[in-house]
Amino acid sequence: MSEQSWVAVDEFVTRLVVGEDEALRAAVSESARAGLPQIAVSPPQGKLLHLLARVHGARRILELGTLGGYSTIWLARALPAEGRLVTLELKPQFAEIARANLERAGVAALVEQRVGPALDSLRALREEGGAPFDLVFIDADKAKTPEYFSEALELTRARGLVIVDNVVRDGELARRNTDDAGARGMRRLHKLLAAGGPWSATTIQTVGVKGYDGFTLVLLD
């Protein structure tokens, strides 16, 4: 098994079953053209997020880390017509590119973008006391993931689903002395999950065009 075959399989799967349309492809190409880092979820991963949101019947979704809106589009397209997705992004320039991509994909009316540090936006959401979210996708500053998770818990309904991206990080997750700050964040997340709480969780390793990484899924009680 090689990284070359991971890429070939992702391309095969994307071509045959993922159903990436022109607006999703444009979100990737326009984000690259604007100089955004090319770190969005892969097409098969985006479709996985979409399918999980549909299986879960999500009507309100919270996303941390918009980038150019690629995962946002996949998640928003799982919503019913009256659904809502709130997406948090630190960088105004990224949020602006994402806006155009969301409009092109026909989901802009369902999506509320908030710009600034995610922890500030999460606290503001808590103070506003809106309806709880059904699904949370955490994909922002990896080192802060445990804090994001704790805040997200306060904003999520019973039986809500929390999905965390980039938890395995080339296997650094299992290295006690890793110097990868993101991996240290993901190790802390796992310790927090292990400490127990009203949830049931697992972590799934993935390979593909984004290399070797993985997702954590947490279903709240």
* Residue 139 within binding range of ligand DHB, rule CB under 6 A: yes
Distance in angstroms (rounded) separating the CA atoms of residues 122 and 31? 25
Please name which of 183, 182, 149 lies closest in space to residue 163, comparing C-alpha atoms: 149
* Residue 98 within binding range of ligand SAH, rule CB under 6 A: no
Among 10, 89, 139, 151, binds Mg ion (CB under 5 A): 139
Using the minimum distance from each CB to ligand SAH, give the nearer residue, 117 or 197.
117
Segment interacting with ligand SAH (CB under 6 A) among 1-9, 34-42, 78-86, 205-213 = 34-42
Using the minimum distance from each CB to ligand SAH, give the nearer residue, 101 or 156.
101
Q: Give me the least distance between CB of 198 and ligand SAH, in Å please.
A: 26
Among 14, 18, 24, 41, binds ligand SAH (CB under 6 A): 41
Among 14, 165, 184, 209, binds Mg ion (CB under 5 A): 165
* Residue 39 within binding range of ligand SAH, rule CB under 6 A: yes
Closest residue to ligand DHB, based on beta-carbon distance: 39
Please name which of 29, 26, 60, 55 lies closest in space to residue 137, comparing C-alpha atoms: 60
Residue 181 belongs to what H/E stretch?
helix 181-194
* DSSP letters for 20-54: --HHHHHHHHHHHHTT--S-SPPHHHHHHHHHHHH
Among 88, 167, 168, 207, binds ligand SAH (CB under 6 A): 88
Biggest CA pair distance of the chain: 50
Residues 139-178 close enough to bind ligand SAH by CB under 6 A: 139-141
Q: Given the DSSP bridges, would you call strands 199-206 and 133-138 parallel, antiparallel or unpaired?
A: unpaired
Residue 162 belongs to what H/E stretch?
strand 156-164
* Residue 40 within binding range of ligand SAH, rule CB under 6 A: yes
* Residue 172 within binding range of ligand DHB, rule CB under 6 A: no
**Residue 215, SS3?**
strand
Q: Give me the least distance between CB of 221 and ligand SAH, in Å please.
A: 26
If one counts every other C-beta atom within 10 angstroms of the C-beta of residue 110, the result is 19
**Residue 91, SS3?**
coil
Q: Give me the least distance between CB of 12 and ligand SAH, in Å please.
A: 21
Residues near ligand DHB (CB under 6 A) are: 39, 65, 139, 165-166
